[in-house]
Amino acid sequence: MSVAESDIRLVALAGYGGHTAVLEDARVLLNEEIAPGHFLLRLIAPRIAAVARPGQFAMLSLVRDGESLPVLPRPMALWDWDSANGTVDVVYRIVGKGTTIMRGFHPGETLVTVGPLGQSFTLRPDTRRLLLLGRGIGVCSLTALGRRASARGLELEVVVSARGPKALIGLEFFQTLGAQVWSVHDEDGSSEVSQLERLLRRQFESAPAQQIAVCGSERLLSLAGRLARDHGSSVEVSLEARMACGMGYCHGCASGRRELADESPLICKDGPVFAVQLTP
């Protein structure tokens, strides 16, 4: 059955009932290229690492002492963290001035970091199989969820999609978790949605995933909706947006999907993770 963008309604999740975001002067441990134009930034941020949950993000200020620009911090998905060592990892792609400046931070320097922020993904107690659908840099929002699912012993299936093979990120990360990973990209046509849908439907025939998580592509979200409608899966999506504050004060990151007569949900505060409801 067809599922279009107009059939999808985003619903804010209940608050995870956890921790207030903290501000840390996070020291850089490493900042290295892991794929062309993609970098792993590892920070010492023990208070954030102690309470982070999959799907949350942090706001990183890139202004150095004695400088006045850039004014606004950058939102970065939490790729992974180690609460024992107090480290937090983010993976970013060079896309503009801000991320170019971020690339210039070296081990020993500090970034003012606020987090963890936003609503996290949920894993239902009855879930046995989880499907992750990530496109481009959106994969960064799904890695920690994959680790959480693996630690719970769930069957984990992951689609990593990108424009080309050099832009695929997270493959080794998910493989080390024991996941079934499909890497698809535009250059050979393997990311074409109808082809990907046939592959996943074959997988779902014998054992559908109880939950699906998506980030980075409206087409993948629509695909998740079609699979969910036919197999009774639940879907959560992480949305990306430019942000000024990351806490809901500026109202600059409205999702654009209005609910009733109210302002559309804010991606920073009501999201970035939303439950997906399909219209009848």
* pLDDT score of 1: 37
Quick: pLDDT tens for 94-141. 998 889 999 999 999 999 999 999 999 999 999 999 999 999 999 999
Least confident of 68-77, 89-98, 255-264: 255-264
SS3 string, 56-97, reads: CEEEECCCCCCCCCCCCCEEEECCEEECCCCEEEEEEECCCH
Domains in the chain: ranges and CATH: 5-13+120-278 (3.40.50.80), 22-116 (2.40.30.10)
pLDDT at 35 exceeding the cut of 80: yes
Tokens 């942090």 map to which residue?
A: 58
Distance from CA of residue 139 to its chain's centroid? 6
* pLDDT score of 84: 96
* pLDDT score of 250: 62
> DSSP E strands: which ranges in the chain?
8-12, 22-35, 38-44, 57-60, 74-77, 80-82, 87-93, 110-117, 129-135, 155-162, 180-185, 211-215, 234-238, 273-278
Confidence of residue 17 (pLDDT cuts 50, 70, 90): very low
Quick: pLDDT tens for 233-256. 999 999 976 665 656 556 666 655
* pLDDT score of 12: 81
* pLDDT score of 243: 60
CA-CA-CA-CA torsion for 197, 198, 201, 205, nearest 10 degrees? 180
* pLDDT score of 266: 78
Quick: pLDDT tens for 162-205. 999 999 999 999 999 999 999 999 999 999 999 999 999 998 88
Strand order in the sheet with 74-77: 74-77, 57-60, 110-117, 22-35, 38-44, 87-93, 80-82
Q: Which two tokens stand for residue 221?
A: 């979200």
pLDDT at 209 exceeding the cut of 90: yes
Pick 106 or 68 by higher pLDDT.
Answer: 106
* pLDDT score of 207: 86
* pLDDT score of 71: 67
* pLDDT score of 88: 98
Distance from CA of residue 107 to its chain's centroid? 25
